[in-house]
Structures are given as C-alpha cells and as structure tokens.
Amino acid sequence: MKLSILNHVIGPVIRGPSSSHTGASYFIGKLARALLSDDLLEARIIFDVKGSYARVYRQEASDLAFVTGLLGLDLADERFKRSIELAEELGVKVEFSLSDLGEGAHPNEVVIEMRGRERELVARARSIGGGMFEFLELNGSPVKLTGEEYIYLVGESEGASHSFESGGRRIWIVKSAEPLPIESERVIEPVFLPMKGEEIFSSGSEVERLCEREGISLGEAGLRYEAELLGMSEGDVLRMMIERYRIMKRAIEEGLRGELSLKVLKPSASTILRKLERGELAVGGPHTKAAALSMAVMHACNSNALVVAAPTGGSSGTIPGVSATLEEEFGLSEEEIARSLFAAGVAGLIIGKRATFAAEEAGCQVEIGAAGAMASAMVVEAFNGSCRQALDAAAISLQNIVGMVCDPVGGFVEVPCHTRNAIAASSAFVNADLIIGGYENPIPFDETVDAIYSVGKMMAWELRCTAMGGLAICPSAMKFKPKMG
C-alpha cells in the first residue's frame, strides 16, 4: 500500500478529536453518500459490538462526523456540531446501532445502510488509522476504495475494477489517479491527493542509503519522495506543507483562546504558557513551551476544531508544539519548518509502512509514540543533523515508550492524551540532543518499529482504545465511563 506524507502522515486535515473515529468517519460518510448517487432519506450506521467504535463513538464525535459526511457538508462547515439536528431538520432519518459484524471484523468496522428516493446502498467500510479508510463491500459485492483516486460510476467497462448492484442494475467502478475522458453516471472526486507516481523508498535503511548516496538530509529525501509520489513539483509540495503548518498554528491559537468544550479536563495550556512567560515555573525553557503549545492543540482538537492529523488526531498536538517552538524560540522560517516537517514525515511514513497508526491495533505507542518519534527526527533536521542522526533520534524516542497502551478515560481523547502529547513534544528536544551529542543507538529505526508493532499485537483488546483498561478503569476515572450503544 502506497503511503503519502501529506495524505497519511502529516495529514489529512480533520476535525478532532480522533483521526480514526472522527476524521475517517467523516470521509467514509461523505464517500458513502456520493456512491448512493441519490437524495438521502434514511441512514442506519451499524458498529461491531466488540469493536472500539461501539464504546467511544459518542465520546469521540464519530456520530457527528458520519452524519456530517452523509449530509455532504464540507469539513470546515461550522454546522458540524449540530449535524444530527440538521439531518432531522432536513428530513433525513439517522439511526445508530450495534451488531455482531462477524468473526475477524476490524475494531473500526462499520456498515452503513442508506435509502434514497430511488436507490438503496449498503456499504461496509473500516477506519484503519490516521484518517485512512477502506470500503470493503457495496451491496454485498467486494470493492476496494480508499479515497485516493477519481471514482467513475459507469455502465459495463473494460477498465472497471469492481461492480455492484444498485437500483435493479449493475454499476461498474472505474478508478484513476487522473481525470479520464469517459462518460459516466457520476464522477466522485478524490478525498485525498491522488498518488500518481512511485515511492522512492519504503524503509529506514533504504532512505538512509538514498541520503548517503545523494548527500542529502532526511527532510530533503522526504520532499523528493512526496513530489515523486504525487507527480508534483517540490515547490508545490513544499507550499502545501507550509499551509499544513499554518493550520497547526491556527489550532494553537484556538486552543489558547479558552472558548473550549472539553469533557474531562479544565483547559490549562494558556495558564502554563503565561506562567512560563512570567518565569513562575520550576524550570521552563523551550521544552516546556513546546509542551504547552502541544496541549493547546489538543484542547482545540477535543473541541472539534480543524487540526492536522500528525499522524493521528489523538497525537495532533506534538508536531505543532515542536514546530511553533522552533519558529518562536529559534527563529526558523515557515519554509525551514516545512522542510523539517518532511523529516518528521519520513519517520512517520516508515512507522505507517511497517506497523500502523491505529491505537485500536497497537496501542498509544503508534499514535503519540509515533508523533514523538517524528518530532525527534524533526528537531535533528532543524539543527542540520544527518539522516542517520534523525532516524536514530526517532528510534530512541520509540524505544522509551514500547508497550504504551491506549486507555482514554471515559473514551475521550483528553486523559492521558493531552499530557502524553506534551511530554512527547518536550522529549523530542532531549532525544535530538542525546543523538547529536554522541549517543550511539544500537537498534536501528526499522527494527525498533517492528518491535513496537509486535508488542502492540500482543496487547489485550482492553488496552487498545476501548476505555476498558489502564487509567480508564481507575476509580477516579469510572465516573466518566462510556455507555455502550
């Protein structure tokens, strides 16, 4: 499976709090509505009774995200928070229910039953981490749709990859990374940036050889990778990354304003920042600033703000906190930040390739843990470290969180997520200093990623984003216990 830095690692842009449960849910809903090709009258959204959706879909705004997508609203539409009420006002009946979706169902599997004026469609899909998703079936016929291509719904075609029955006839699906000059009943635009080219590396060892051969840094390798994969110029790709950084900064501003609707926590980022500026903290310094700014993003994320999944919603604070600190405390320009973000993107890309970004599969070590590794590589890049040093900083970051479980209190992405983002942001500077200072990492990045994924697969399901273990079942946390259904 191809992975793009802008599509899957430092992106996509989502509404918080969760890339798996909010971001991908919106994308699934929007694509399902487009595939229906009819006015929507009714929708029934069914989650697997054993999965994580069943336990946290209300807490993590999956219900709002699915309905926003099914109504065809833009992601930035401010009616997101009242989308369920809006559906009722528009005469669209929406129902949520739990069922056994079968042996081997993904923790984030969903079935959406839709009825339009003339057509009905049953779509089976799953969220697979970091905002990514897959459609598996349409009206019982197997498909594979990931939102990364143009989709043409046509009559019988030699170029079709899948088909399904709808409205008493068979509809064929033609997919393409480029617009096609063909007649079709409907053209569905890509959800993500189409990947027209090829990957130029897929592991830490491969990118390290590329950097050594070409005499380039990890960030420069990441920029080349993305330009080649998307079929775009490096300048265009760099400008897109700068815009991602600007979205991060807007999330920081929103999180510091105080107009927030958190469920468990009292917002504290602005207070910490003010005390830092007045010299009233125990130590202070850039590490603490990065921590406070990362918490600001998480405050915004949990108020359903627009954030950049980096690589997920639950880890969307770490990279912005480090990036803004590099700009404000060390004077890096937006372009320098963007180039450093490509180094972070490569580290995340390798984690996505060799493991996953879904805490439902491997715990928090592949979400906030991944963000911490990415941020560590970014700091090395920002201070002109080598490709090997950036990967080693990412490796030791992961080595220190092996086995970190995903145990959201009450199912909300707040405790312990906000402070974990803060600590990941702060420790990125320490990891960079250790490596640049001379620590020799004995376990390469690739092997470290393989190890954390192996550990993740050993974790009990109660420790993987179900709010059924860890901190989520402490006596003080039980008052926030999620209700099923």
Q: Determine the pLDDT at residue 483.
A: 56
- CATH 3.30.1330.90 assigned to 18-188: yes
- Domain extent listing, the chain: 18-188, 204-230+232-479
Furthest CA-CA distance within the chain: 71
Q: Determine the pLDDT at residue 124.
A: 98
Which CATH number is correct for 204-230+232-479, 3.40.50, 1.10.10, 3.10.50, 1.10.4100? 1.10.4100
Q: Determine the pLDDT at residue 258.
A: 73
Decide whether 18-188 matches 204-230+232-479 in CATH topology: no
Q: Determine the pLDDT at residue 1.
A: 83
Nearest to 155 by CA among 170, 165, 143: 170
Walking along the chain (485 residues) 10 residues at a time, the average pLDDT comes out as: 95 94 96 96 96 88 97 96 97 98 93 96 93 96 96 84 87 94 93 97 98 98 98 98 98 91 93 98 98 98 96 97 98 98 98 93 96 98 98 98 95 94 98 98 98 97 90 94 57
Q: Determine the pLDDT at residue 159.
A: 75
